[in-house]
A and B are shown apart, each in its own frame.
Chain A
Amino acid sequence: MIRRLGLIAMALAAAIATARPAGAQDPPLVLVHGIKSNGTAWIDAQARFNRQLAVTVYNPTINDWKALIPDQAAQLQGKLPGVPGLPVVVGHSNGGVVAREWSKTKPMKGLLTLSSPNQGAPIANNAVAWGMYNASIVAGLLNVQASFSNPNEGSFWILAVIQGALAFAADTVGTGVAALATTGFDVYAPVFSQDKVGSSYMQGLNSPGNLAREAAAIPNRVSIATYVPDYNLGGAFRALSPDNVDFFRAALWASVGTLDVWAGTIASSGDPRDIERAHRMLTASFLLSLHEGMWCQAVSDPSPYAVTLGGSCHPNDTFIPTWSHVLPGSLLIPKPNMPAHIQQTERMIPVLYEVLTAHMGVAPRGAGGGPGSPSILPGGSQLSPGQAISSPDGRYQLIFQTDGNLVIYRADGAPIWWTGTHGISPGAARMQTDGNFVVYDSANAPAWHTYTYGNPGAYLSMQNNGAFVIHAANGARLWGSPVPPNEVNPPPGGGGGGPTAPSPDTLTAGARLYPGQAVQSLDRRFALTYQTDGNLVLYGPGGVPRWSTQAFSSPGYAEMQVDGNFVVYASDGTPIWASGTSGSRGGTLVVHNDGQVDITTAQGLVVWQTGTGGS
């Protein structure tokens, strides 16, 4: 074993020597975010492109995203006074429009717009009308409640049985209006007057004269036009919370149906006033049933005031229509069935990588970390900033980034786990001889560790199932990162699993879930998901939530601690929720096939459970 580790260490040293960190000599790549956003939208893309493309990535924040577009372009210039040469610029959403404006003063080698409102955003035209539609839902709900004003009347009890449907309808209104706030909609924000379809700004931007100027100033222009699958479905809720759309749709149509069925029932009572009540209920469910279609019209119909005047549903990415993603005169790359608008900067990185390398002349960096590179980090070795190891099959890579974050990437570039230590001045990620794996900053202060000290001879392996594991000298598993949901079991016969590789339904002592990560039952029907809103939710078949902590926060992580307590921490380290099982050292959390989640001590004693079993 010792001899094998020695060989591995030599191979690792050779591989690390070939990795080349980003250099100032590389051509610039500028990432521009959209409305109500900042540079964090591109943080993952920045890390990956710095690592995998021969570029120096600039990721500025436009502080005043409400400003007129020329003012935003001036802010951009102010943030990037020293960008050398001709940059390639990537703009998401309104960032693409700002980049077009910037090109009036900044020559560019290339411009890539991703789902940008190049020809205007209909939601800017329709926002108030959308609000008025939601107001009509509220009016319909009030009409229903008013018809049940007297508790002594025979059918008052029905109000209780339709309460859930009515409350959901009210929530839908809140979501519908919040969707506007999420876009950054602000009646006083100058940018929205310019983003309207048909605005004088949009007319000037797409005038023949300006398009000719752009063609001359930017030799390589590419626009990616996207739409989501079933773009007519999901409404504002999908725009806000795309991953939970199935549950929302079920609740929406259940509410419509529930109001319909009770309307039919009370319409058959002997009291003629119940017929009036029934029709108020049918009207409320009618207005609710329009939600999906109205949102689609509001965000996608090319006529400026579709919601008021009547329109139709066009392909869109939940906020911006596909037809507006088209930058006139550019190479158009259609990308159907893509993530929703608010997910694109995180989830379309592989697409951007492909387009940048295939169509925009950006060269891959060619760093190490592919198949054949080391998968094991022995005790006493480290990863310096920019260095990586890979799983034996090359599908996963563990990299200590130059921003201080330690990240596992899938082969397609998707980040699947990270320590959240970005922002520190990076020192090294060390597999110490005492068995602890520690991320240090440049001042040698620890920023994160696996709590596995006291195990001399331990080593780290990056596994084929997407998790990295700290093994004791005898191969026993001491700690592991969560196995991603798509990796139910280690590939048959795959190496790197280790003698005690974790089951994917289990969080063992020391394991964490970071926002967006989940541990799921072996049959994949149940998933305990740590959401980006800080809530820890157990989802069952059909995406139906079965249990949750109801503890919302700026998310940090959820950890199955070595002391046996399962704790959810906010981003500032504050514990938000706990299972209260400390003292059961070495406990494991398991998501079972019947929907039960429990914590079992090392002695096999169940000390906590969600009570959701039996499905």
Chain B
Amino acid sequence: MRARVAVLVASLAAAPASWPATASGSPQLRPSPSKDPGVTVPDLTSRTPGVAPAPAWDTFTADVTIRRRLVRKDGTAGPEAPEMRYRWVRALGDTGWKTTMTVLSVSPDIVQTSKGPQAVSRKVPVSRIEIGDARAPARIFDAEGRMLFMLPTAPPTDPPAAAAGAALPPELEAVRGAAAAFKANLASAVAAGSDAARPPSDLRSREWVEHLLPSAAGRGARRAAFARDMGSPQGSVRGLERFLLNRDGDVTEILSDPAWSVPVEINVVRDGALVSHSVLSYDEDPGAGLVRRRIRSEQLLSPESGDRALVDFELSNIRLDRGGAR
């Protein structure tokens, strides 16, 4: 499989023609050698090919590293967000999965001082986010373990009205209006869809881990899910099965590895232009499965500016445990 992944990576190395190369080179996947030993699983969890793992584990743990930056239309680097490292824990309880994201580190800010550039803490006031059952509000905690508040209860931060007598440029007024309209439309959309929208019926299912740790045994189920969600393959590209979904003016192309039935590339085209491009990379798991290591994505922020957001979502130190992470 590792060789197979390498082939896929090579086939994707050429950037889509509609986007220029970034300042640092191709925006495409460049997997770095991983020193991560792979997935740690308890003895009760079988990773034998062709045999479904025994559903004994009840806690999933992984470290998530998220790197994000902006790339200008001409490929020059724009601002970079702090690198965020989280400990991501999903623990199975009586009523479903409880998700906890603990902030492990946030890269420092660089500020100018009288002594020159200095790295300073961003003093991120949030330390832990807990999400209980589906639709439960997120609970936000500080470093001392005190709950600060809950989301989605919207914080009472209605922006101040425009200063009297100040005439903002039309483009700025438009931005403010668009933000207000978005908020109103969002509330309407959520309310309108509340009847139809339902959380997953089987709240205690372990199936989701199959997509992070695809097993050989699960290939058939994954392929069936593909067919259900995306229809039949529409040919192939670079040896990958090509699925197409056309909706709301967006054409979503998903390229899937036929041997494992896992997505390796997702492209979204709107009005004939590429607006989103994501690449997923996997490592081979010693237990004869795969481990999804990274998703690297580019999103076009607006056709006018041409700015793109680069997002790198990386998983490491993945564990499946019983009785909670140790």
Contact with B266, one of A132, A272, A542 (Cβ below 8 angstroms): A272
Chain A residues 232 to 258 lying within 8 A of chain B, measured CB to CB, are: 232-233, 237, 240, 246-251, 253-258
A152 within 8 A of B: yes
Instruction: Collect the chain A residues with CB atoms within 8 Å of residue B153's CB.
Output: 164
A250 B112 Cβ-Cβ under 8 A: no
Binds A, one of B8-16, B33-41, B179-187: B179-187
Known: A138-B175, A270-B207, A282-B313. A168 touches B155 (CB 8 A): yes
Chain B residues 178 to 213 lying within 8 A of chain A, measured CB to CB, are: 178-180, 182-183, 185-187, 189-190, 192-200, 207-212
Instruction: Collect the chain A residues with CB atoms within 8 Å of residue B278's CB.
Output: 275-276, 279
B142 A250 Cβ-Cβ under 8 A: yes
- CB nearest to A263 among chain B residues: B313
Instruction: Collect the chain B residues with CB atoms within 8 Å of residue A127's CB.
Output: 169, 172
* Interchain CA distance A185-B172 in the complex, whole Å: 11
Q: Which of B84, B111, B211 neighbours the largest number of chain A CB atoms within 10 Å of its CB?
A: B111
A186 within 8 A of B: yes
B172 A279 Cβ-Cβ under 8 A: no
- CB nearest to B302 among chain A residues: A139
B117 A159 Cβ-Cβ under 8 A: no
Mask: chain B, 148-166; 1 = CB below 8 Å from A; 0 = not: 1101111111111111011
- CB nearest to B267 among chain A residues: A276
Binds A, one of B49-57, B74-82, B232-240: B74-82
B125 A253 Cβ-Cβ under 8 A: yes
Instruction: Collect the chain A residues with CB atoms within 8 Å of residue B207's CB.
Output: 270
B21 within 8 A of A: no
What is the distance, in angstroms, from A138's C-beta to the closest C-beta of chain B?
Answer: 5
Chain B residues 251 to 297 lying within 8 A of chain A, measured CB to CB, are: 252, 254, 256, 263, 266, 268, 276, 278, 280, 295, 297
* Interchain CA distance A91-B44 in the complex, whole Å: 74
A254 B86 Cβ-Cβ under 8 A: no
B101 within 8 A of A: yes
B316 within 8 A of A: no
- CB nearest to A157 among chain B residues: B197
A173 within 8 A of B: yes
Chain A residues 155 to 185 lying within 8 A of chain B, measured CB to CB, are: 156-157, 159-168, 170-175, 177-178, 180-182, 184-185
* Interchain CA distance A150-B247 in the complex, whole Å: 10
* Interchain CA distance A145-B40 in the complex, whole Å: 36
Instruction: Collect the chain A residues with CB atoms within 8 Å of residue B197's CB.
Output: 151, 156-157, 159-160
* Interchain CA distance A162-B248 in the complex, whole Å: 22
Total chain B interface residues with beta-carbon distance under 8 A: 117
A128 B172 Cβ-Cβ under 8 A: yes
Contact with A312, one of B103, B112, B210 (Cβ below 8 angstroms): B112
B208 A270 Cβ-Cβ under 8 A: yes
B101 A271 Cβ-Cβ under 8 A: no
Instruction: Collect the chain A residues with CB atoms within 8 Å of residue B243's CB.
Output: 272
What is the distance, in angstroms, from A115's C-beta to the closest C-beta of chain B?
Answer: 17
* Interchain CA distance A151-B189 in the complex, whole Å: 9
* Interchain CA distance A162-B176 in the complex, whole Å: 21
B309 A275 Cβ-Cβ under 8 A: no
A167 B186 Cβ-Cβ under 8 A: yes
Mask: chain B, 221-239; 1 = CB below 8 Å from A; 0 = not: 0100110011000000000
A261 within 8 A of B: yes
Instruction: Collect the chain B residues with CB atoms within 8 Å of residue A232's CB.
Output: 109, 111, 120, 122
- CB nearest to A234 among chain B residues: B123
A154 B200 Cβ-Cβ under 8 A: yes
Instruction: Collect the chain B residues with CB atoms within 8 Å of residue A138's CB.
Output: 175, 178-179, 182
Instruction: Collect the chain A residues with CB atoms within 8 Å of residue B196's CB.
Output: 151-152, 156
B323 within 8 A of A: no
* Interchain CA distance A280-B252 in the complex, whole Å: 14
Provide a sorted-by-A list of 28 A–B residue pairs whose CB atoms are within 8 angstroms.
Answer: A127-B172, A135-B171, A146-B248, A160-B135, A160-B197, A161-B152, A164-B152, A165-B152, A166-B186, A170-B183, A171-B154, A171-B157, A171-B159, A174-B180, A175-B160, A178-B159, A181-B163, A181-B168, A186-B165, A250-B126, A257-B101, A257-B126, A260-B101, A263-B313, A270-B229, A275-B295, A313-B109, A313-B112
With A268-B209, A270-B208 known, 16 other A-B pairs at CB within 8 A are: A138-B179, A163-B186, A170-B180, A181-B163, A184-B166, A249-B123, A254-B148, A260-B86, A272-B263, A275-B278, A275-B280, A280-B276, A283-B68, A290-B70, A293-B79, A300-B112
